[in-house]
């Protein structure tokens, strides 16, 4: 039972099979300044250079002990590929959007998926980073790649105001944007799987209650997710930020095998609602716990998450860049302590 490789334990957990202990990793952003200093690969370059991206991603596993290698460190890869303007960020700021192409409804017609999508600058970097990661860590450590989902794609391409307006008043245009997002996600995700990524996490917070009224989730998002997940040829995970309590039940029916939820969601409640439909991933607060709390309190919250029924122990969202490595190590150690204290290891 305890002879699983990290990858076997991760895959079994996602599939709801029995494991000796839950994996502890991050399916969201893993780059921190301390890790950059330790491995010599820094932002902003590590967001654009495959070698540096791979080095920093591996550091969170080799140095901090997280049980997966996860990259990239931002959510702008598909956005830039579809024509958004992106600022490169800095040592502790992720790349971010500065302008978007769909100012008015007519502009949506002009958005197309590049024929050479996989050779576009940002996507090629991630695929190259995947090759480097696979070569360096071998086959026993799970590799997780993140990408924005259909709703986030629509949000980036149309801007916040249009997104909010069109989701209510121009649903045909809104759905057109979601369809573009679904198509681009499908092609990109399957290229990642072909390069050896084990799980793709679709970051789609813009579909959550913070931006989209919960009654719209079922009619607007679930069909898109079902269609997308049907076509994704590997482990598929969904991350939605904020308080997604009102849509957890629908998320669990959308075809994703793992759901990564923020700490605003009560883990015990979520695990009861989800049942065996998906693996609950989360949800220790990266900002108010991992970044700032004492190691003792980090461990306490991490153990409570396992107690509450998460299938994978992870931060509820991206790790803050200034998070101390020792805090991440305490987070990882908490998982082992939990099982020792319970007499299970
Ligand atoms: Zn998040």
CA angle 207, 148, 326 (to 5 degrees): 105
Q: From ligand 1's centre to the CA of 341, what distance in Å?
A: 31
Q: From ligand 1's centre to the CA of 25, what distance in Å?
A: 15
Least Cα distance to 15 among 257, 281, 280, 189 occurs for 257
DSSP annotation string for 99-168: E-S-SSGGGGGG----TTGGGSHHHHHHHHHHHHHHHHHTTSS-EEEEEE-HHHHHHHHHHHHHHHHHHH
Q: Is the confidence at residue 1, as pLDDT, over 60? A: no
pLDDT in tens, 312-334: 999 999 999 999 999 999 999 99
Full-model pTM? 0.98
Q: From ligand 1's centre to the CA of 146, what distance in Å?
A: 11
Q: Is the confidence at residue 64, as pLDDT, over 70? A: yes
pLDDT of residue 231: 98
Q: From ligand 1's centre to the CA of 27, what distance in Å?
A: 10
Q: Is the confidence at residue 267, as pLDDT, over 90? A: yes
pLDDT of residue 191: 98
Which band of pLDDT confidence, cut at 50, 70 and 90, is reported for residue 344?
Answer: confident
For residues 265-278, average pLDDT: 98
What is the C-alpha separation between 286 and 291, in angstroms, rounded? 6
Which band of pLDDT confidence, cut at 50, 70 and 90, is reported for residue 265?
Answer: very high
pLDDT in tens, 181-226: 999 999 999 999 999 999 999 999 999 999 999 999 999 999 999 9
Domains of the chain: 33-279 (3.20.20.210)
pLDDT in tens, 168-178: 999 999 999 99
Q: From ligand 1's centre to the CA of 262, what distance in Å?
A: 6
pLDDT of residue 2: 61
pLDDT in tens, 121-149: 999 999 999 999 999 999 999 999 999 99
Q: From ligand 1's centre to the CA of 241, what distance in Å?
A: 4
Which band of pLDDT confidence, cut at 50, 70 and 90, is reported for residue 345?
Answer: confident
Q: From ligand 1's centre to the CA of 106, what distance in Å?
A: 31
Q: From ligand 1's centre to the CA of 216, what distance in Å?
A: 20
pLDDT of residue 212: 97
What is the C-alpha separation between 307 and 268, in angstroms, rounded? 8
Half-sphere exposure of 104 (CA within 13 A, CB side): 1
For residues 276-290, average pLDDT: 97
Is the separation of the CB atoms in 261 and 281 below 8 Å? Answer: yes
Q: Is the confidence at residue 295, as pLDDT, over 90? A: yes
Q: From ligand 1's centre to the CA of 175, what distance in Å?
A: 23
pLDDT in tens, 65-91: 999 999 999 999 999 999 999 999 999
DSSP strand E in 164-204: where? 199-203
pLDDT of residue 263: 96
DSSP annotation string for 66-91: -SSEEE-S-S-HHHHHTT-EEE--BT
Least Cα distance to 261 among 309, 325, 199, 216 occurs for 309
Q: From ligand 1's centre to the CA of 1, what distance in Å?
A: 33
What is the C-alpha separation between 90 and 172, in angstroms, rounded? 38
């Amino acid at each position: 039972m305890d002879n699983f490789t990290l990858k076997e334990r991760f895959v079994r957990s996602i599939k709801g099979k029995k494991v000796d202990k839950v994996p502890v990793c991050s399916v969201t952003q893993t780059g921190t300044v301390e890790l950059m200093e330790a491995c010599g690969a820094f932002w902003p370059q590590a967001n654009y250079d495959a070698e540096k991206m791979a080095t920093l991603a591996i550091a969170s596993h080799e140095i901090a002990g997280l049980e997966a290698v996860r990259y990239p460190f931002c959510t702008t890869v598909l956005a830039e590929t579809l024509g958004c303007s992106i600022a490169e960020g800095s040592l502790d700021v992720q790349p971010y959007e500065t302008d978007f192409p769909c100012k008015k409804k007519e502009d949506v017609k002009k958005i197309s998926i590049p024929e050479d999508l996989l050779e576009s600058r940002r996507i090629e970097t991630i695929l190259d980073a995947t090759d480097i990661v696979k070569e360096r860590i071998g086959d026993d450590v799970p590799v997780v790649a993140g990408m924005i989902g259909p709703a986030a794609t629509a949000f980036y391409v149309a801007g916040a105001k249009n997104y909010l307006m069109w989701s209510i008043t121009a649903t045909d245009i809104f759905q057109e944007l979601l369809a573009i997002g679904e198509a681009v996600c499908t092609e990109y995700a399957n290229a990642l799987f072909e390069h050896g990524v084990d799980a793709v996490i679709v970051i789609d917070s813009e579909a959550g209650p913070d931006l989209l009224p919960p009654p719209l989730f079922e009619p607007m998002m679930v069909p898109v997710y079902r269609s997308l997940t049907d076509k994704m040829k590997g482990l598929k995970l969904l991350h939605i930020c904020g308080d997604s309590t009102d849509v957890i039940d629908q998320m669990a029916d959308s075809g994703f095998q793992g759901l990564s939820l923020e700490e605003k969601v009560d883990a015990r409640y979520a695990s009861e609602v989800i049942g065996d439909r998906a693996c609950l991933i989360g949800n220790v607060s990266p900002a108010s716990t991992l970044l700032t709390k004492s190691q003792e309190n980090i461990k306490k919250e991490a153990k409570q998450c396992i107690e509450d029924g998460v299938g994978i122990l992870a931060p509820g969202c991206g790790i803050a860049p200034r998070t101390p490595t020792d805090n991440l190590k305490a987070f990882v150690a908490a998982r082992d302590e939990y099982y020792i204290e319970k007499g299970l290891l």
